[in-house]
Amino acid sequence: QSVLTQPPSVSAAPGQKVTISCSGTSSNIGNNYVTWYQQFPGTAPRLLIYDNNKRPSGIPDRFSGSKSGTSATLGITGLQTGDEADYYCGTWDNSLRAGVFGGGTRLTVL
């Protein structure tokens, strides 16, 4: 059981937009910054978004992040088949004093 809650799967057609939600509490998302990772099968996760909405160099601006209260959202526009992957949100939890993640969301580009 993950501390942060994500939908198990989302899907959309190529070229469309999709959003992935991440829900937490005031102990984690509500009072800390949110991060998003992208993971292709058999590979290590890759940093996609940090500090709620910042993109590391090399990440296309089709990927965006936002946070409101105790929830965060990853948005992907102009979907490509190459975006099919698992996406994880993460943050720090002040009560657990630990890094925490969501259970991951599998994105399918139909």
Partner 1 sequence: QVQLQESGPGLVKPSETLSLTCTVSGGSVTSDYWSWIRQPPGKGLEWIGDIYHRGITNYNPSLKSRVTLSVDTSKNQLSLRLTSVTATDTAVYYCARDLQAEYSSGWSIYFAPWGQGTLVTVSS
Q: Which of 90, 87, 91 is nearest to 19 (CA)?
A: 87
Looking at 25, 45, 53, 77, which residue binds partner 1 (CB under 8 A)? 45
In terms of Cα–Cα distance, which of 13, 14, 32, 12 is closest to 22? 32
- DSSP bridge pairs for 105: 87
Complex with partner 1: residue 16 or 86, whichever CB lies closer: 86
Among 10, 24, 38, 88, binds partner 1 (CB under 8 A): 88
**Residue number, 14 or 51, with CB nearest to partner 1:** 51
By the rule CB under 8 A, 38 interacts with partner 1:
no
Q: What's the closest the beta carbon of residue 100 comes to partner 1, in angstroms?
A: 7
H helices of 1-110, where?
Answer: none
Torsion of CA 19, 88, 30, 52, to 10 degrees: -70
Binding site for partner 1 (CB under 8 A): 2, 31-33, 35, 37, 43-47, 50-51, 56, 88, 90-92, 94, 96-104
